[in-house]
Structure 1
Amino acid sequence: MTGLELERAWRGREPGLLGRKHACAVLCPFVETAEGLHLLFEVRAPSLRRQGGEVCFPGGRMEPGETPEQCALRETMEELSIPAEHIRLLGRSDYLCQPGKFSLQPIPALVDGAGLRAMRPSPAEVAETFTVPLSFFQETPPEVFVYTLEPKIPPDFPYGAVNASPDYRWEAGEAEVPIWRWEGRAIWGLTGRIVKNLLETLGSVPL
């Protein structure tokens, strides 16, 4: 292999997340009401294999060649039947990653009144929808729980071959779980982390 071939391998390449198996995107829909801005949420259908009954934003796995924005709009149409022409994309929020699994790109957006009236949740994916005033999140600190991410090393790991001792200090970590409770529902997990980040971003914006 030549130096020119090496250069071609990286020229114009869009960086990805090392170890990622797939990429996902969600729409974070703000809606304007007479009482001010609200965030729109879904409750996943209880029949779904993963996270049935949990609160989330519309979204899912990106298809080959799809941008996060295209994915978020497509998934919102599939899950809620809100047409893209009634959604104004506002940018990209900070993304999340589950090491060795997936990345998740939140896309803040504003859904107009016609889009909200057109909403028809898919019964196969969505049990119900609801909105929460943005002011509630701004005025109500979440409950925050922290759990430890512990490395589990195989018993046959070849410490000698990598010149390390069996008491090698593997890196551990921590993850925050913010929880808001709203009218009998819990907004938590990845969705809670996204909401927390949206609020942090809006902290410097007068509302």
Structure 2
Amino acid sequence: MPLYDRLRAALDRPTGRALLHGDLDPDETPDATPAAVLVPITYRHVDTVPGPGFILTKRNANMRNHAGQVSFPGGRIDSGETAVEAALREAEEEIALPRDKVKLVGAMDPYVTGTGFHVLPVIGLVEPDLPLVANEAEVDHWFEVPMGHLLDPKHHREEEVLYKGRQRRYWRIDYQDYDIWGATAAMIVNLSRRLNT
């Protein structure tokens, strides 16, 4: 089945496995800041393995929120803007990904971060070999990870940490020297669960 159809079918079907929504229920967090991320997936040879890959960014260490973390391109939804428009705008601002080079697949399951953002991930297929450039004010650099690696449950680890006086559980996925954790890892786990249901 073509990748677009496979992803679209995964988003449409009810999942038999519990999905992750963060510390709070998205339907019960009216004060959370609306945000969106683009989940860019592209076909290319990654580490000599042919197939699709996720484009991720490593955020600038001086950012106010999520400094130095690995994430999908994204940010707050501006007034009058849809989640899709915000995701595409942020990807263009952060890594110079042209909006007309993204084939939208659809929105994933919303996720509420511990820092108070209500995030809607939007999946888009991206043409290979685009001349992407990191916006140094926000992004240290961008990189690509094989889709098969990130979606394989054997690479998903659930961990626990004491944060602001209480125990919190979160997901972590390692790839080479990159530490992918928190909301970004949870969104990947959700997509994996939908695809593997």
Deviation for aligned residue 1:30: 0.5
Deviation for aligned residue 1:51: 2.1
User: With CA pairs under 8 Å and 6+ residues apart, which has the higher RCO, 1 or 2?
Assistant: 2
Give the letter for the 1:192 counterpart.
A
2:177 & 2:106 partners in 1: Cα distance?
Answer: 31
Size of the aligned set, in residue pairs, is 166
Gaps of 5+ in 1: 1-15, 153-171
2:60 & 2:125 partners in 1: Cα distance?
Answer: 24
2:182 maps to 189
1:28 maps to 39
1:86 maps to 101
- Would the aligned equivalents of 1:26 and 1:105 in 2 still touch at CA under 8 Å? yes
- Would the aligned equivalents of 2:151 and 2:188 in 1 still touch at CA under 8 Å? no
Choose which of 116, 135, 157 in structure 2 pairs with 1:122: 135
Deviation for aligned residue 1:99: 7.5
2:145 maps to 132
Choose which of 156, 159, 181 in structure 2 pairs with 1:145: 159
Gaps of 5+ in 2: 1-26
Worse-matched range after superposition: 185-194 or 19-28 = 19-28
RMSD: 2.3
Q: Which has the larger radius of gyration?
A: 1
- Would the aligned equivalents of 1:145 and 1:178 in 2 still touch at CA under 8 Å? yes
2:125 maps to 110
Deviation for aligned residue 1:123: 0.9
- Would the aligned equivalents of 2:38 and 2:121 in 1 still touch at CA under 8 Å? yes
**Percentage of matched positions with identical amino acids:** 27
2:137 & 2:115 partners in 1: Cα distance?
Answer: 29
1:108 & 1:75 partners in 2: Cα distance?
Answer: 14
Q: Which runs of 4+ in 1 moved over 6 A?
A: none
Q: TM-score, normalised by structure 1?
A: 0.72
1:100 & 1:112 partners in 2: Cα distance?
Answer: 33
2:87 & 2:150 partners in 1: Cα distance?
Answer: 23
